[in-house]
Amino acid sequence: MRWLPFQLNPDLPDTGISRQEYIERKFGPGGGRKYDHVAQVGKAVGIDFAFDKIKVQPNTVNAHRLLHYAGNQGAEDAVAESLFSAYFIEGANLTDLATLADIGARGGLERVALADWLASGEDRDLILAKDEQIRNGGVSGVPFFIFNRKLAVSGAHESETLLKAMLESIAR
């Protein structure tokens, strides 16, 4: 399994914007209620989403750089889990490089080396190019799954549907 860089909001400034402003722009006043259903479904499967803790809607380029770095270190899945937990449960600001270094360390990476790498800006252009390639390939939202490079499934689905797609991709 690989995590590919895709930004939901590539137009956001590097520092992100207020989550409240983002929600109002996207859904109008009171639009945060759109996340109530997601929170209920999450709770049913043991994920306590805390959307109210999120104060910054981030530009995710550096978060994708973190995952890229983690992949090169063999820790991509652990860091992805740490990243999702930090953002969706703790409300972490994913535009802050120190926060990203902490998240990476929680996922098993050496914090000082990671912090130095993040500060360098290394692989930023690579991430932006991959994001554009994925976007040009037809991806327009998340989640988006590509199985065996043969079958794509867009959106949230039950596990049975995803398993069926995986098996079909093998058969192809």
Q: pLDDT digit string (tens) for 18-52?
A: 999 999 999 998 888 888 988 998 999 899 999 99
Q: Which fold has domain 17-139?
A: Glutaredoxin (3.40.30)
CATH 3.40.30.10-classified regions of the chain = 17-139
> Whose CA is closest to 55, among 79, 34, 32?
32
Predicted TM-score (pTM) of the model is 0.89
Amino acid, single-letter form, for residue 84: F
- At 149 the pLDDT is 85
